[in-house]
């Protein structure tokens, strides 16, 4: 259990180290009210980039489909040509970037270079139809969940077989143990996530408004832990206590908050936590999916494993705005380095290149 005197010791160390100016003033001045889907810094390729540069000049033709809107929003920024199969794009989560050509299911596989699809516990209906094309096109499947036991591992290994799977954390990749897989850690555009002003002494979380007994998801999202914490300290549950009409309203709300509580037990790499860190909210989070890799206890966030510690830390942060801002600024500095969008784009382009090269080699006549 973390005691307050230990927190004060940690804060004292932070105050001393902060004199070095490690992350002072690391905020961006942009218009957060913009709903423009082209506000990102585009990934640029140049003639001297060899194979990557050549590939981007010719532009891959990628067949995809709606699924995880926030994830797809980032993918649609890649310098490739996107063609989408029918489905719903949830515009209240993200605006739809331009340049997407919508198709029906009566398409010619020869018109494309690659398929990028999605699989998760919510289903894999698109994958089930597209996997029949794996001898005509290379396929990458993005996995959005973790297994709840060896039976599920076997089921999904049998499902994907030799399809290449992209995971969101190293722990997730290890748990699934697919035949071919890659971990690509999320990337966010700093211009889209400006620093909070901490004007509202408010802790938030962003999770589906479900109950803990909801099959699989209630456990994975840590709903039981969240409810225990909310009995002790105020934590605004975004998507249950409050909903937003669009992405701008959501970001404006975060831009006044100061603490983000993440109770998930089995979410590979929660995007909402990363987005909150990009804005300088202090992460108070469970440590089940490798959070120790980027959060140093008491320096740029807090790792917790029970409701009592989580509640105590959240209450302390809300009562100590100066220290909260200091830890939050370090969380933002960490996020700007660890969740850099350019690195993410390069990881994805490299993955596409390698998967396509392996597929061509295995299908050479």
What is the torsional sign of CA 78, 82, 85, 91? positive
pLDDT confidence of residue 171: 95
Q: Over 90: is that where the pLDDT of 337 sits? A: yes
Name the segment(s) of the chain with CATH classification 3.40.50.2000.
56-187+341-362, 189-338
121 DSSP 8-state letter: T
CATH number of 189-338: 3.40.50.2000
For tokens 């996997």, the residue is 131
Take residue 115 and report the two structure tokens written for it.
């398929």
- Contact between 220 and 145 (Cβ < 8 Å): yes
pLDDT confidence of residue 266: 82
For 284-298, the pLDDT digits (tens) are: 999 988 999 999 999
**What mean pLDDT is reported for the chain?**
85
Mean pLDDT of 317-337: 97
pLDDT confidence of residue 209: 57
Q: Over 60: is that where the pLDDT of 256 sits? A: yes
Q: pLDDT band at residue 210, thresholds of 50, 70 and 90?
A: low
Q: Is CATH 3.40.50.2000 correct for 56-187+341-362?
A: yes
The set of long-range contacts for 146-150, using a CB threshold of 8 Å and a minimum separation of 24, is 146/171, 146/172, 146/175, 146/176, 146/220, 146/266, 146/267, 146/268, 146/289, 147/175, 147/176, 148/216, 148/219, 148/266
Q: Which helix (H) or strand (E) holds 182?
A: strand 181-183
For 145-165, the pLDDT digits (tens) are: 899 899 999 999 999 999 999
Mean pLDDT of 346-362: 96
- CA 45 remoteness from chain centre: 24
Question: What is the reported pTM?
Answer: 0.83
For 32-70, the pLDDT digits (tens) are: 333 433 333 333 333 333 344 444 435 899 999 999 999
More confident residue, 8 or 37: 8
């Amino acid at each position: 259990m973390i005691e307050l005197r230990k927190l004060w010791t940690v804060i004292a160390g932070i105050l001393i180290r902060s004199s070095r100016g490690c992350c002072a003033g690391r905020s961006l001045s942009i218009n957060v009210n913009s709903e423009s889907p082209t506000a990102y810094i585009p990934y640029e390729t140049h003639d001297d980039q060899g194979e990557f540069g050549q590939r981007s000049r010719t532009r891959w033709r990628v067949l995809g489909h709606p699924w995880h809107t926030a994830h797809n929003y980032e993918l649609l920024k890649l310098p490739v040509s996107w063609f989408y199969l029918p489905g719903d794009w949830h515009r209240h989560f993200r605006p739809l970037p331009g340049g997407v050509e919508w198709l029906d299911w009566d398409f010619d596989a020869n018109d494309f270079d690659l398929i990028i699809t999605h699989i998760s516990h919510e289903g894999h209906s698109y994958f089930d139809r597209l996997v029949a094309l794996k001898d005509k096109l290379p396929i990458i499947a993005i996995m959005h969940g973790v297994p709840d036991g060896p039976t599920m591992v076997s089921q999904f290994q049998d499902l994907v077989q030799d399809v290449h799977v992209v995971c969101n954390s190293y722990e997730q990749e290890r748990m699934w143990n697919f035949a071919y897989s890659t971990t690509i850690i999320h990337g966010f555009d700093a211009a889209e996530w400006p620093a909070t002003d901490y004007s509202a002494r408010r802790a938030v979380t962003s999770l589906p408004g479900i109950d803990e007994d909801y099959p699989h998801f209630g456990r994975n999202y840590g709903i039981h832990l969240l409810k225990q914490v909310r009995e002790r300290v105020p934590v605004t549950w975004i998507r249950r206590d409050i909903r937003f009409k669009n992405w701008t309203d959501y970001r404006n709300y975060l831009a006044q908050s100061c603490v983000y509580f993440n109770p998930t037990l089995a979410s590979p790499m929660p995007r909402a936590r990363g987005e909150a860190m990009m804005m300088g909210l202090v992460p108070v989070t469970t440590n089940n999916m490798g959070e120790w890799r980027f959060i140093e206890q008491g320096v740029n966030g807090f790792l917790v494993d029970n409701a009592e510690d989580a509640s105590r830390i959240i209450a302390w942060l809300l009562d100590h705005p100066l220290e909260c801002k200091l830890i939050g600024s370090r969380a933002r500095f960490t996020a700007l380095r660890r969740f850099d969008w350019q690195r993410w784009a390069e990881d994805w382009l490299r993955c596409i290149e390698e998967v396509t090269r392996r597929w061509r080699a295995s299908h050479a006549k």
